[in-house]
Structure 1
């Protein structure tokens, strides 16, 4: 009898898990509720829709997220294939054309001979002897959340993630805006920059600080992820907070004057045709009217057309250290795996990485093989350690970072540590592939 499994959720984690399992010989039923039902943040009926940003962050091999990408590539990650096939210029970052990216994943899922995409909502955890991967994402429905809570006996946690606005390229004032990427002195660069002098910056901060935000509902409690704070929350922390954050001017001297502005708002291309740009770091919970009023005071955006305004949505995740084992399997229900942001990671790449690991282990379970956890020292293991070894009382979602890795042995210069970690991690990964994955 052919091994089979169910995967609930057609986002990055679900698609990656389906690919990994199917490539290992399992039949996969992939359930996706769109287009029957959409979450508050989704608009397309395609699989793998990106809603917060089109950037998968740094591609530098000596960065933690760059290392994670390389580990995934070496494990034949579908998300990495899709990203590279639909990449757009973004300096040292890996950014994609959203529509082409989602279309790529949708086509692969539809055409794979061992994957069947079922377009219907699943509201309860299935009662089955087959492995199940739950990858319903940060906006898991109330019904499925209730089912998960009933099974675990644990109250879920929530934090709030904000979406940045997107503007039309042909509505930008290029007489004020200049093209330059930080530290790329010899090239025009992939980012557009809106420079501010001190008076303009102070006026912007004053306006932003007094702007109206969307009120939280009575049952909501603001728990923001530190790596994706709303712009107005950062502003409230101090007048210069934004100048040392998303509006940092360092390395962005205006090539027309040679002078470094007091502050800079950066715009990143949203698609290959560069017809739309994302306001980098400007995730927000301002009302739509206030976004247009406040952000049009940014030099170069005075007459801009907003292709998409920012918004805020709730992200749901479990207390992974209590509930998950090192294979991303629920301790209270063997055979049920969690992947994606619901498991307690943050970020596109991290979500896909947990999908990759859950897909591998669910397939191995279905095939009667021993499950395998990635070795210590790899970026994949760093994510697992965060999910399973963090103090439950202080658990919060996290991106991958070198703080999650074990310490390096011996003395290594600070500038060499990233490279040394990457060299070690990739060697360990190759040994793991050969010895544990076959």
Structure 2
């Protein structure tokens, strides 16, 4: 049983009542100005009381000079200065995250020149937009930090102000800077797009090479990972792509597909649909195979799934009725079993599916392919109630291939009865219960 990790202790800040606050009174008196030009003692006390909770969320390496200056400014009621210090700390951290992501990789993503100089000179608004694009901040973070930018420009000591803020407004500002920029010291590293594409299109990956690229894609942010997976899908579907490159693409995607986001799955289906809409048959066919190989059939519509299952069923049936079927059936049976685990069998193909599986499992007058029986039995155990009804109904209908085999060969009849034992009686619909009872007696 896992235990909760206790939160880091909050920094212990000194009390102000007997030190700073009386000094503020003396200072304003000496200058001959009203005490009200500074934040009140109560506002300072409340802001100071809230500071430790916010500072606790900032990793120790980021509690540097600017954070210290912010604390000093809060202690004297200079919320406008404190706001500027913590904002600058947030901006520096966002720059550091982009730098860690990789300035050359940012240039690839932006498809324009982008160097360290450009990063340093980037206006705060543009920096936030770039951070959002790189997924260094999410949409919520961008929204709240952009609000902070506007508040900082109009109410902080960075520029002549249009008003003042109180302790609660400052604490909200601080919380957003901490939460969306400073709280997480880690940052994703970008993937060199050119090097990645060259590697995928190059020679067949060895295991170490594959592991390196899988790790790099795992460590980058969702937006770049999605972009690269979509590019890999395009490489796989290109008729001019070599087989080693296609296998490289499958290796990468196969290692990552359990973590595919809903957005990525949607984008893959969109690209797949685009091939169909444009009548690009080679790419559409390759894309179908891509979805099959990665176990993503459930993301396709029923007509697409029908086409895939139809092809697998037809191939199994052709092999079953061909020469040496006892030796050639297993891989085709295994393929159909693999597809059935990805998605329910479309109703439009269930009749053919049940007939082929049952004919293969009971065999013919010469016997059955024993090496494929395990696959057939797994398929039968997973029959839906409708498929169970079809199985029993096909056996009881004289014109079907299944019925003719059962009535013509005792061995087929016996194997059919054995197949019925694989079905949970509770899955047998009432419409075929009498026929089921007849065969199982």
Q: If the length of structure 1 is used for normalisation, what is the TM-score?
A: 0.22
Structure 1 or 2: more strand by fraction: 1
Larger Rg, first or second structure (1 or 2):
2
Q: Which has the higher helix share?
A: 2
